[in-house]
């Protein structure tokens, strides 16, 4: 996952190309990024000390 993010952060490479370099399908790479995003969002909402709706709650 870290390597995928590094490739995408460097720019100039598509998701499909970055995935291919790592031996993943584009779908696998997208799923990994989606899971990572959900985990980050979950932690972020947890940092709101239990408030529902994050900054809007």
Question: What pLDDT does 47 receive?
Answer: 72
Q: Is residue 16 part of a domain?
A: yes
CB 29 within 8 A of CB 18: yes
State how far the Cα of 52 lies from the Cα of 30, in Å rounded to an integer.
Answer: 27
> How many domains does the chain contain in total?
1
pLDDT digits (tens, 9 = 90+) for 15-51: 999 999 999 999 999 999 999 888 888 888 887 655 5
**Greatest Cα-to-Cα distance within the chain, rounded to the nearest angstrom:** 41
Q: Is residue 56 part of a domain?
A: no
Question: What pLDDT does 50 receive?
Answer: 55
State how far the Cα of 52 lies from the Cα of 49, in Å rounded to an integer.
Answer: 9
Q: Is residue 55 part of a domain?
A: no
Determine the structural domain holding residue 13 and report its residue range: 2-48
Q: Return the percent helix, strand and coil in the chain, to nearest 5.
A: 70, 0, 30
Q: Is residue 28 part of a domain?
A: yes
Question: What pLDDT does 1 receive?
Answer: 80
Q: Is residue 57 part of a domain?
A: no
Confidence band of 57 (pLDDT split at 50, 70, 90)? very low
Q: Is residue 53 part of a domain?
A: no
Calculate mean pLDDT across residues 9-13: 90
**CA separation, residue 57 to residues 51, 52, 53 (Å):** 6, 5, 4
């Amino acid at each position: 996952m870290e390597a995928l993010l590094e490739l995408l952060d460097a720019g100039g490479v598509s998701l499909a190309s970055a995935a291919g370099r790592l031996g993943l399908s584009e779908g696998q790479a997208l799923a990994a990024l989606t899971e990572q995003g959900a985990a980050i969002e979950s932690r972020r909402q947890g940092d709101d000390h239990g408030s529902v709706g994050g900054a809007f709650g």
